[in-house]
Amino acid sequence: MSEINMNQSIAAGTQNNEKNYFFPLAAMTTLFFLWGFITVFNDVLIPRLKSVFDLNYTEAMLIQFCFFIAYFVVSLPAGNLVKRLGYQKGIIIGLVVAAAGCLLFYPAVIVHQYWVFLSALFVMASGIVILQVSANPYVAALGTPKTASSRLNLAQALNSLGTTLGPIAGGMLLFGAGSAAVVEAANADSVKVPYLVIAGCLLAIAVVFAFLKLPTIEAHIETEDCKVKDKNLKEAPHLMMGVVAIFCYVGAEVSIGSFIVNYFAEEHIGGLDAPTAAKLLGYYWGGAMVGRFIGSQALKYVAPSKALVFNSVFVMLLLAMTMFTEGNIAMVSVLAIGLFNSIMFPTIFTTAIEGLGSLTSKGSGWLCLAIVGGAIIPLLQGVVADTMHIQISFIVPLVCYIFIAWYGLNVVKLSKQWHDKIA
């Protein structure tokens, strides 16, 4: 009887713990929405800025490169920063740095120098990197470890909502409801106000977070008796393989999304013009949002590793289908990948940092560094598309998902090896 009471007490304590974390989780999900909104809002500016700064295609590609290279340059310093100052201060610093990047768009327009714009983009991306290094592990830790993937999937779903609404808001703010002639006449001045507004919002949220009383994650603070105090992250195989998995996932996701418009223009696939194909691209990203809301509930009951294997196998089947079919089947197959992509990033992330203790923030930095895959994998697929054919080029992301499936099959064993070392 006493054992039953004890179990009931533990269950009640867990429920109360989850309730106590409701407000911090709600505050954190606003950040996920915000950086998704900002990231895609910037994509809306690319066609306009290509014209404003008179860029060729090579110069325009530097926009994507400068954004993703920030993950490679800033992630590890950001992890050390967050380890030293804590998650809350890391979030505030990330918001301020991102706001500074937004403010730099103003002088970029005034002086009409492309390098100033690229610098602004890099600074803004650096702030988002610091936010991700701080927020991802913090959300994963706000509750029981068993539901960490579920929480991060919910937060990432809000991020996807931001990426869905960002282009709509960007189009309204930059071009309004004007005619095509008005849109064509728009100049660099249309960039100033939106980014000043975004900077103001970021700074306002930074002030709010400065006054919030967020709970401290005691397990992530290094103490004298900390089990991982003298351990090196390279000794954590689940983290090291997780870094490769994140590299593969982000690279594959970005690469597929980048090629869809041109792919649908192929006569034997869809023969669509760019505007029509671009509208269909929304189903790819929208599918990721829907899948993350579903995943946030499903992962309360399904082991993250099993979900990762299931989804990656389905993506491989869809990629094979789009490579060997034509017409509507080929188009629907590649668009459906977004739905199965949905749970991968948060699931890989939470399984990779599991059990890192006080090394969690540094491990988060390593994982965010791997997001540079978004700059490299699309280039590799581009090489294959140029030398062979765009339909065959989807073999590049296919290889990425093969590794992700392997990671899902082996992550539990890899994590056990780490736990045995620190036991």
Q: Residue 15 has what pLDDT?
A: 45
292 touches 153 (CB < 8 A): yes
**Which pLDDT score is estimated for 76?**
82
Banded pLDDT at 337 (limits 50, 70, 90): very high
| CA gap 419, 337 in Å, rounded | 34
334 pLDDT more than 60: yes
Mean pLDDT along residues 206-229: 63
pLDDT value of residue 175 = 53
pLDDT for 171 beyond 80: no
Whether 102 contacts 202, CB under 8 Å: yes
pLDDT at position 47 is 55
What does the buried/exposed string (b/e) look like for 76-111 if buried means 16 or more CB atoms within 10 Å of the residue's CB? eebbebbbeebbbebbbbbbbbbbbbbbbbbebbee
- What local confidence, expressed as pLDDT, does residue 336 receive? 95
Read off the pLDDT of residues 54-93 as tens digits, 9 standing for 90 and up: 765 456 657 767 888 888 898 888 888 887 888 888 889 9
**pLDDT given for residue 13 in this prediction:** 42
Q: What is the pLDDT of residue 2?
A: 43
% residues pLDDT > 90 (the chain)? 23
> Could you tell me the pLDDT band of residue 116, with boundaries at 50, 70 and 90?
confident
Number of residues that make up the chain? 423
Taking each helix axis as running N to C, give the angle between helix 360-369 and helix 344-353, from 0 to 180 degrees, rounded to the nearest 10: 140
So what's the pLDDT on residue 14? Answer: 41
Q: Which of 43-52, 201-210, 251-260 has the lowest mean pLDDT?
A: 43-52
DSSP annotation of 324: S
Task: Retrieve residue 13's tokens.
Answer: 């304590």
Write down the pTM of the prediction: 0.73
CB 155, CB 139: distance < 8 Å: yes
pLDDT band at 193 (very low <50, low <70, confident <90, very high): confident
Write the CA distances from 303 to 138, 157, 224, 313, integer angstroms. 20, 19, 33, 16
Residues 349-385 pLDDT 10s? 889 988 887 777 778 888 888 988 988 888 888 888 8
